[in-house]
A and B are shown apart, each in its own frame.
Chain A
Amino acid sequence: MGQQTKLSDSDTSLDGRNAPAHGGVTTNGRSLRSFLRSYLVVLLLPLLFILFSVLAPSTFLTAYNMQTILTTNAVLIILAIGETAVMVTGEFDFSFGGTLGLSAAIVVMMTNLDGISAFEAIVVSFLVALLIGVLNAYFVIKLRVRSFIVTLGMGTLTTGVGLGVTGSQTVSNPSKFLTTAMTKHIAGVGLPFFYGLILVIVTWFLLEYIKTGRNMYFVGEGRKAAFLAGIHVNRIRTGVFILSALTAWLAGMVMLGQTTAVDATYGGPYLLPVFAAVFLGFTTIRPGRFNALGTLVGVLVLAIGSTGLEILSVASWITQVFDGGVLIVAVALANILGGNLIETWT
């Protein structure tokens, strides 16, 4: 019975790697430290929130501003979740920006043609995104090119194709269907945020509670051991590249619906914040592991931080300074937490 109590204690933590798992053996000082280790970045959220609320009560602390932050960061959440899955398995995907732009461009151009419905156009763009994911996987797994290189090339390549499709012009979205699906609101927050939230929850569940999720971590952290234990290493790697391409496609649809005008390079600026969010996520909730909730926290930190700074300084360049700075600090933190784990990627 004594053991039962002990076990349920550790069940209160999300994953058991956190503070409560050490409880009983360790002193209060140590459990506080490991609590901070797990939740430091999470604590940053209310701190930033209070800070900006105090500094700019009339502009930052408004329901409208909150709703806007969540709505406009839906694309970032969706992209960052796809990247999280890829990075769990020890790979990179730099091609999501290109996939996003190309998917959106295809929909726009096709619906402008006669006799093609918005739905058909969306299906075609989905298939193209799928193809991009398969190609990434093929080059990385079959031809053994580093994912870093393959996806970097693929991102530029698809952006180029996207520019070709749109004739290098910003084109507006004629699809009513998409606009409706992406601009409807619940409690003032755009639907896409909820799509992103669902993705976060599904991915978190996958990584925590599904066999494939556990195996994904092993593919990233000990690929040889995973292979020798009979895990479908390459099937999992193929899966994440496809998943990542499809989340980029979804992000493309969201962006198209939200902005009504799109250009193949629209995905580019997301490269940095996506990695900043994913690495921030690595340092929190399950420190030392890429995880979906951590990524969500990372996105929110970036979103609140850059919006707040923007409101304060009335200068949009601050966003880039902030994103870049956060990326460096997050990777440094991740390095400290993960030891040489990160070394293999960066």
Chain B
Amino acid sequence: MASARIALEVAGLKMRFGPVTALEDLTLSIRQGEIHGVVGHNGSGKSTFVEILAGTHVPTSGQMELFGNEVSFPAVAKDRENHPMAVVHQDVGLVGSMSVVDNFRVNRFKRGLIGSVRWRDERRLTRERLSAIGVDVDPRTLVEDLSASDQVLISVARALMDLEQIRQRAEQKDQAILILDEPTSSLPSGAIDSFLDTIREVNRELGTTVIIVSHNPREIMALSNRFSALKNGNLVGTYVTGEVSYKQLAALMAGQSETEMASETQAQAVPLPTEGNRAEKRSELLKATNLGGGRVKSADFSIYSGEVVGMTGLLGSGYEDVPYLLCGSQMKTGGSVRFQERDLNKCNPRIFRDSGGMLLPGDRQLTSGVPTATVRENMTLGYLDPYLKGGILNHRRERRIVSEMMDRLRVRPANPDRPLNEFSGGQQQKSLVGRCLLRSSKLIVIDEPCTGIDVGARNEIHATLREMAANGVAVLVTSCQYEELPMVCDRIIIFQGGYVAGELSGAEVTEEAILRLCYMDMEATRA
């Protein structure tokens, strides 16, 4: 490995999207034949890096060399001999309603005499290739009928076959790079190990260089020879995996610097605040016991009136399903939920609403808002009763109350009869939060309250959430934005792999502490 040649080298890679800098100045090199991890927190630039390698983005400036040859951007694999790279994207890029052979051989079919596809040959080839990496399926099966792990493997096999064809033509047979972007994110945990084995085998037997982007420290530890950590569009450093402890890796993934890493070794997992003294102060409003469903495997938590409680974790850790499990739009597979002395085990959004809950879902365009409906209609969606008189809707009253709410939340332009989609994202979100204020609820669940909105609107929404809690309402906020949660939450519950990894409250609530729990080695802690 020490004398290895360089497979891929980038220097001074910079990428700007308008005012946002995704890559500041990235310089890193990847050796031929190694498995190289790329890690970093959300916004560190790792996805942008992959997009540039895949040719979907053209960097603002910078150079890239592939096996010693300068590459011009966009780095599209049109000239495959000079760009022997294959990318397996996170969403695997397969068409579910088509067969395995169609997906596997699309654009690559061999033609017969009259240009017709020789299906028997294609099917045989597909079967051979797939069984070589451990997928034994009938090539005529539809992709959507396959397991998630088989789908990922088919995507990998397709990329490998492309690389092989490149190698056959190229002079250097081992000059090929396989890029895997979060390949295991859609895999069930049981299938990850065998997947990693497959990748290791590909790397060893074929000499293929592998770049793997991942947010899972376990995976990087198990698979990579070296890894590069990115932060704010820069390289923090490239490390030999064997020389780094799990904890150090986790800290690097969370975007902490090396000095922070040093102090990290003393830090232990944050102790959970004792349930007892909390219950004395506030009344417990909702209690979930062994709650399961979606990506939540088993979670216990309580929500108290008068607090803003946050839920977060890495994407896919389960916290994002909690609002929908609580309101019953998503199936619970186990456990129980008690809400104000009432069982919500069999629940649907209407029952949840009628028992004093209020859900504001996370997608303004689809689940919380209706873009073509007016702000007025959006604000009173589901709660028209106050504007009915003898069953007849009083438009004037509805318009007045919504206007007042828009004034209070400073929604501009203050016209309740404009369609929602004529407002900016921040104004839309403020209006939708207004829906929660127009009705008295005991529990308000808000999913991702501040995605894609400006800082001003965010602060106003935070203030509104605090105000609700001050009035005795329990507010549950689920968010993937770790930096926003400490601004608004009294308490934060962190999920990992479908379980509650820990809880922070009071002064413990910091972005660093959240990150630490997100990446904490749970299995080691348990053992």
Residues of A within 8 A of B (CB): 3, 7-8, 10-11, 15-17, 21-22, 25, 208-211, 214-215, 217-218, 221-222, 224-232, 288, 338-339, 341
A327 and B348 alpha carbons, distance in the complex (Å): 40
A-B contact count (CB 8 A): 104
Query: Hey, which chain A residues are within 8 Å of B381, CB to CB?
Result: 218, 225-226, 229, 231
- Of B352, B376, B392, B413, which one neighbours A16 at CB under 8 angstroms? B376
Q: Tell me how far the C-beta of A287 lies from the nearest C-beta in chain B, rounded to whole angstroms.
A: 11
The 3 lowest CB-CB distance pairs between A and B, nearest first, are A222-B370, A229-B382, A16-B417
Q: Establish whether residues B399 and A225, one from each chain, have CB atoms under 8 Å apart when the complex forms.
A: no
Shortest distance from the beta carbon of B470 to any chain A beta carbon, whole Å: 25
Query: Which residues of A lie under 8 Å from residue B396 when comparing CB positions?
Result: 7-8, 11
A225 touches B369 (CB 8 A): yes
Shortest beta-carbon distance, A278 to chain B, in Å? 17
Task: Indicate if the CB atoms of A229 and B417 lie closer than 8 Å.
Answer: no
B42 to chain A, nearest CB (A): 26
Whole-angstrom distance between the Cβ of A178 and the nearest chain B Cβ? 33
Q: 0/1 per residue, B360-402, Cβ < 8 Å to A?
A: 0100001111111110110001111100100111011001100
Within 8 Å CB of B416, what residues of A? 16
CA distance A10 to B415 in the complex (A): 10
Residue in B374, B392, B393 whose CB lies within 8 Å of A17: B374
In angstroms, Cα B395 to Cα A11, docked, is 8
Check A10 against B392 for contact (C-beta < 8 Å): no
- Would A211 and B329 count as touching, CB distance under 8 A? no
Q: Using Cβ atoms and an 8 Å threshold, which residues of chain A touch B354?
A: 230
CB distance from A282 to the nearest CB of B (A): 12
Instruction: Tell me how far the C-beta of B311 lies from the nearest C-beta in chain A, rounded to whole angstroms.
Output: 18
- Are B393 and A10 closer than 8 Å at their CB atoms? no
**What is the bound-complex CA distance between A208 and B384, given in angstroms?**
13
A258 to B414 Cα, complex, angstroms? 53
Residue in contact with B393 in the complex, picked from A7, A16, A208, A232, CB distance below 8 Å: A208
Q: Which positions 338-371 of chain B face chain A at CB distance < 8 Å? A: 348-350, 352-354, 359, 361, 366-371
Closest-by-CB residue of A relative to B367 is A224
Interface: B291 (CB within 8 A): no
Q: Are B399 and A227 in contact (CB under 8 A)?
A: no
Contact A22 B353 (CB under 8 A): no
Residues of A within 8 A of B399 (CB): 7, 10-11, 16
CB distance from B379 to the nearest CB of A (A): 11
Residues of A near B369 (CB, < 8 A) are 222, 225
CB proximity of A16 to chain B, nearest CB, Å: 4
Asked if A16 and B374 sit within 8 Å, CB to CB, the answer is yes
Kindly identify, within residues 244 to 272 of chain B, every residue whose CB is under 8 Å from any CB belonging to chain A.
Answer: none
Q: Is B464 an interface residue (CB 8 A)?
A: no
Give A34 Cβ to nearest chain B Cβ, in Å. 12
Determine the residue in chain A with the shortest Cβ distance to B369. Answer: A225
Pick the residue among A16, A21, A208, A338 that contacts B372 (CB under 8 A).
Answer: A338
Query: Mind listing 5 A-B residue pairs with CB under 8 Å?
Result: A222-B366, A222-B373, A225-B367, A225-B370, A228-B329
A325 to B349, CA, bound (A): 44
| Cα A224 to Cα B419 with chains together (Å) | 18
The answer to whether B417 and A17 touch across the interface, beta carbons within 8 angstroms, is yes
How many angstroms from the CA of A16 to the CA of B396 in the assembled complex? Answer: 10
Kindly list chain B residues whose C-beta atoms are within 8 Å of the C-beta of A209.
Answer: 392-393, 395
B417 touching A211, Cβ below 8 Å: no
Report chain A residues within 8 Å CB of B185.
none
CA distance A230 to B385 in the complex (A): 13
Are A230 and B370 neighbours in the complex by a CB distance under 8 Å? no
Q: How far is the CA of A210 from the CA of B389 in the complex (A)?
A: 10
Say yes or no: A225 contacts B361, CB within 8 Å.
yes
Most buried by B among A3, A16, A288, A338: A16
Flag if A228 contacts B395 (CB, 8 Å). no
- Residues in B312-330 with C-beta less than 8 Å from chain A: 327, 329
Could you tell me the distance between the alpha carbons of A287 and B121 in the complex, rounded to whole angstroms?
57
> Cβ of B388 and Cβ of A16 under 8 Å apart?
no
Give B313 Cβ to nearest chain A Cβ, in Å. Answer: 22
Contact B350 A232, beta carbon cutoff 8 Å:
yes
A247-B438 Cα distance, complex, nearest whole Å: 38
B27 CB within 8 Å of chain A: no
What chain A residues lie within 8 Å of B505 (beta carbons)? none
A contact residues around B327 at 8 Å (CB):
228
Interfacial chain A residues near B359, Cβ < 8 Å:
228-229
| Interface residue B403 (Cβ < 8 Å from any Cβ of A) | yes
Known: A17-B374, A21-B417, A222-B373. A228 touches B384 (CB 8 A): no
Instruction: Find chain A residues with CB under 8 A from B370 CB.
Output: 218, 221-222, 225-226
Expressed in whole angstroms, the Cα–Cα distance for A48 and B196 within the complex equals: 73
Within B116-149, which residues are at the interface with A (CB < 8 Å)?
Answer: none
Interface-centre pick from A224, A230, A231 (highest chain B CB count, 10 A) = A230
Question: CA A221 – CA B416 in complex, angstroms?
Answer: 18
CB distance from B360 to the nearest CB of A (A): 9
Q: How far is the CB of A105 from chain B (nearest CB, A)?
A: 38
Q: Which residues of B contact A218 (CB under 8 A)?
A: 370, 373, 377, 381
Closest to B447 in A: A228
Contact of A22 among B350, B367, B415 (CB under 8 A): B415
In the complex where A211-B388, A217-B373, A341-B372 touch, is A25 in contact with B415 (Cβ < 8 A)?
yes
